Chain A
Amino acid sequence: MKRVAIAAYGITPFSKDDKKIESILFESTKNLLENNPKIEKNEIDTVLVSTNNNSKYLSPILSESIGIQPKIAHSIENLCNSGTNSIVSAYSYIAAGLADIVLVSGAERYDSPGQILEWDNSRGEFKHPIFWASIFTSSYKRKFGISDEELAMVSVKNHSQAQNNPNAISKKTYSVEDVMNSKKITDDLKLLDCSQSCTGGASIILASENIIKKITDQPIWISGVGQKTISAGFTKNNSFNSMESTKIASQTALHMAHKEIHDIDVAEVHDAFSVCEPMALEAIGMANHGEGTKMVKELYETKNLMINPRGGLIGCGHPLGATGIAQTIEITQQLQSRARNRQVENPNTGLVHNMSAAATSSTILVLEK
């Protein structure tokens, strides 16, 4: 199997702008190519598009709009972890020898149809993500005796960290009190506990070992990949206070990378709602069960940016198909020491956690210098 590395990236600001999906895809790809003049666009032999948008044939459309004729071009959709699924597909094409340079471009509009899985009728009339998030939150608080204030710290930390990220949708910091006083969505969820669906694009180029040196001096290797699907329906989760798919995917990815969890210096975790961050930290093994919020508080108080340095989904916004790619770009920048005022000190190994629909499925990537 060939080794695969990340060679380049491009991203758009995340916003509530009303833009065509094709324009969003083009924008982050243009940004990538303009910032990486060593990449000859005609050498891109595969184009994968990650989105939940209902438009068809977007990968050939993107290819035509940047003036290339790749061998392989198609879309990938898997709700909120479409982005990392696309990266895993790109990895697989290269590792198998079917492609050498793959462009993965993710894009979403603020009104994405990927927010609600219509098929999941077991949830009755409670299909919006706020309902699974409320059940997770209620269950997590009950199981571990955690307060709303402790969970609010996730939002405080991630909005604060987003202020160092010019592409983030959040332009403000908040206190625990602000989060507690924000609009009540349900008994267990305030508005500031939620990430917001938004418009945004993120693109990345993966390349094989024999090509990578020609296009970048700072390749970031994908050394671990782990994925797990438990179900499609939310009601099939075994537990509502832990993330089984994330736990299994994390073990698989770390095993593949020959790493232990304490080797991870920086991580992006999928904080779609406040409760998701402690649950993810526990599932990947960074915190003991029920102690995720304690870790979040310590990180915030010591100004340690190692978890969600770009501001996570809560701070950045959540353009579904672009999120996993934006998370991967952040870890890449961190490992290249190019994260500017949000740089974690000299990281060697990073991790990306991206999941869909109440952690019914998860993807974990381990990245290394």
Chain B
Amino acid sequence: MSFESEMSKGSFVIPQCSTCQKWVWPPTDYCNACFGKISLKKGDFQGRVIEFSRQNDDYFCMVEIENSFRIMAKMSDKPKIDQIVKISKCGIEDGNYYFEIN
């Protein structure tokens, strides 16, 4: 099981260091603090919208996941700053990650 194989299946998991427990983002094979091995943590993670803009009909948001790291994700409804969101869809297309939130 790797982060990208989970992402390809539409499942968002958080890479965590098996040694120091730090969440490591973006996903790599080893912890960037202690070089410990990474394991993948499943869960129902929360995000918070910290900034956003819009292109055509889609909003694109800077989302902070579990007060830890950030991703950019698409949202169809107009977001509010500090709105709590969940990742509703994710995956990899042509080598690029994509995330949708609601």
> Contact: A125 with B74, CB < 8 Å?
yes
A residues contacting the other copy or chain, number (CB 8 A): 27
A15 at the interface (CB under 8 A from B): no
Partner of A186, one of B54, B70, B81: B54
- Give the residues in chain B near A233, CB-CB below 8 Å: 26
> Contact: B52 with A186, CB < 8 Å?
no
- Give the residues in chain A near B60, CB-CB below 8 Å: 126, 131, 134-135, 186
- Cα distance, A127 to B60, chains bound together (Å): 11
- Chain B residues 84-102 with CB under 8 Å of chain A are 93, 95-99
B51 at the interface (CB under 8 A from A): yes
> Contact: A121 with B54, CB < 8 Å?
no
> Contact: B55 with A121, CB < 8 Å?
no
- Give the residues in chain B near A127, CB-CB below 8 Å: 96
> Contact: B72 with A186, CB < 8 Å?
no
A-B contact pairs, 27 of them (CB 8 A): A122-B26, A122-B72, A122-B97, A124-B71, A124-B73, A124-B74, A124-B97, A125-B96, A125-B97, A131-B60, A134-B53, A134-B60, A135-B72, A138-B51, A138-B52, A138-B53, A139-B51, A142-B81, A186-B53, A186-B54, A186-B55, A187-B53, A189-B53, A234-B72, A235-B62, A240-B50, A240-B51
B69 at the interface (CB under 8 A from A): yes
* Known interface pairs A118-B95, A131-B60; A124-B51 also in contact (CB < 8 Å): no
CB proximity of A188 to chain B, nearest CB, Å:
5
- Cα distance, A233 to B28, chains bound together (Å): 14
Partner of A235, one of B71, B74, B98: B71
Per-position binary interface string of chain A over residues 116-151, scored 1 when its CB falls under 8 Å from any chain B CB and 0 otherwise: 001011111111001100110111001000000000
- Cα distance, A186 to B51, chains bound together (Å): 14
- Give the residues in chain A near B26, CB-CB below 8 Å: 120-122, 233
> Contact: B51 with A235, CB < 8 Å?
no
B45 at the interface (CB under 8 A from A): no
Instruction: Tell me if B's interface is mostly helix, strand, loop or mixed.
Output: strand
Interface range, B side: 20 to 34
- Give the residues in chain B near A138, CB-CB below 8 Å: 51-53
> Contact: B53 with A188, CB < 8 Å?
yes
- Chain A residues 157-188 with CB under 8 Å of chain B are 185-188
- Give the residues in chain B near A185, CB-CB below 8 Å: 55
> Contact: B51 with A122, CB < 8 Å?
no
- Give the residues in chain A near B55, CB-CB below 8 Å: 130-131, 134, 185-187
- Cα distance, A233 to B50, chains bound together (Å): 17
- Cα distance, A293 to B95, chains bound together (Å): 39
* Known interface pairs A131-B60, A138-B52, A187-B54; A126-B95 also in contact (CB < 8 Å): no
